[in-house]
């Protein structure tokens, strides 16, 4: 396992560098926000709703137990608070940045898929009758028996967005991602047998499940809607987490891939620098050990040449012996 370096990679020292590396990821994230906004503006498919189908669509119109504005708090801000606490403890910008990026991708990809399916399917909500006929008097086509709604257009439009549940898919995307994150940080699968760790891992999933239950209790969704929403959110969250972090059962499951890659590159650079310095020292020692040597001339002439080895630059002094 690579050596852990605490407090050496903070937002101040490495934040800009990490964000610059993933600039295109943040750009695509912004594009997902725009796509999801467009999907919420366009009109969903108006599925045929006949008189005989109203039996299962006449549940009372109620307010949301969990309002729309609370969903981003549950799915995004709550996990973000956990990431922030861990950053203050460990001071690792790689973990903090990748945890946030993965979370936002999990939620926004889930949102785009959910809203695209909503618009394409156009399934009426369980309270569709009261959305369509707020005065309680149904109006139907005499030939097709299709509904002829008399209610507010925006309320009717929302009534065609039952499948899948957006509250549920968002909640499972953010909180299942948080469960993955917590399981890695507390080493829930380190084979030590501390099963109590799973209570912390399953707590976010329980919260997401209660959000799903509230959608059925409020008669805003059928049970199939929340089941599909939970499945979509869980699958997308798992893919996004594993894109940035090793599986929690891995020996390095506590940190992001980028952190260990950075450590490996730093260690390789240090070893290479050390090797280069050692090579330069060896070469310097060899140069200092070299002395100028001129072999004596061979042949009949017994004259020998003696050269001044002084470092002063000057003409050589020849000493001739007869």
Catalytic machinery residues:
167, 221
Closest CA to 129 of 219, 4, 245, 198: 219
CB 284: neighbour CB atoms within 10 A?
10
Q: Which region holds residue 91: left if phi is over 0, alpha if psi is between -120 and 50, else beta?
A: left
172 and 79 Cβ atoms separated by less than 8 Å: no
The CA-CA-CA angle for residues 212, 248, 242, to 5°, reads 70
Q: Which residues contact 19 (CB under 8 A, 6 or more apart)?
A: 26, 97
Closest CA to 46 of 144, 175, 174, 170: 144
52 and 138 Cβ atoms separated by less than 8 Å: no
Closest CA to 74 of 242, 212, 244: 212
Q: What is the DSSP string of 208-237?
A: HHHHHHHHHHTTSS-HHHHHHHHHHHHHHH
Report the alpha-carbon distance of residue 93 to residue 88 in Å, rounded: 10
Q: What is the DSSP string of 90-143?
A: H-BHHHHHHHHHHHHHHHHHHHHHHHHHHHHH-PPPTTHHHHH-TTS---B-TT
């Amino acid at each position: 396992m690579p050596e852990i370096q605490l407090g050496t990679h903070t937002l101040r020292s490495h934040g800009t560098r990490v964000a610059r590396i993933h600039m295109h990821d943040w750009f695509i994230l912004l594009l997902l926000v725009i796509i999801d906004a467009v999907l919420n503006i366009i009109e969903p498919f108006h599925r045929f709703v006949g008189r005989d189908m109203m039996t299962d669509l006449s549940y009372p119109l109620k307010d949301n137990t969990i309002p729309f504005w609370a969903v981003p708090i549950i799915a995004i801000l709550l996990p973000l608070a956990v990431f922030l606490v861990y950053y203050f403890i460990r001071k690792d910008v790689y973990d903090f940045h990748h945890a946030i990026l993965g979370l936002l991708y999990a939620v926004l990809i889930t949102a785009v898929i959910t809203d695209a399916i909503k618009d394409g399917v156009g399934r009426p909500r369980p309270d569709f009758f009261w959305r369509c006929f707020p005065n309680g008097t149904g109006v139907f086509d005499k030939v097709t028996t299709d509904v002829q709604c008399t209610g507010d257009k925006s309320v009717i439009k929302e009534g065609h967005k039952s499948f899948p549940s957006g509250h549920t898919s968002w909640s499972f995307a953010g909180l299942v991602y948080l469960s993955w994150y917590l399981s890695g940080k507390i080493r829930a699968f380190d084979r030590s047998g501390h099963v109590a760790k799973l209570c912390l891992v399953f707590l976010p999933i329980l919260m997401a499940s209660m959000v799903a239950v509230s959608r059925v209790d409020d008669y805003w969704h059928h049970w199939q809607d929340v089941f599909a929403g939970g499945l979509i959110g869980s699958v997308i969250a798992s893919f996004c987490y594993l894109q940035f972090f090793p599986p929690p059962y891995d020996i390095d499951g506590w940190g992001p891939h980028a952190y260990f890659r950075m450590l490996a590159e730093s260690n390789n650079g240090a070893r290479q620098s050390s090797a280069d310095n050692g090579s330069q020292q060896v070469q310097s020692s060899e140069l200092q050990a070299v002395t100028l040597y001129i072999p004596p001339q061979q042949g009949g002439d017994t004259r020998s040449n003696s050269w001044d080895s002084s470092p002063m630059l000057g003409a050589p002094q020849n000493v001739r012996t007869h």
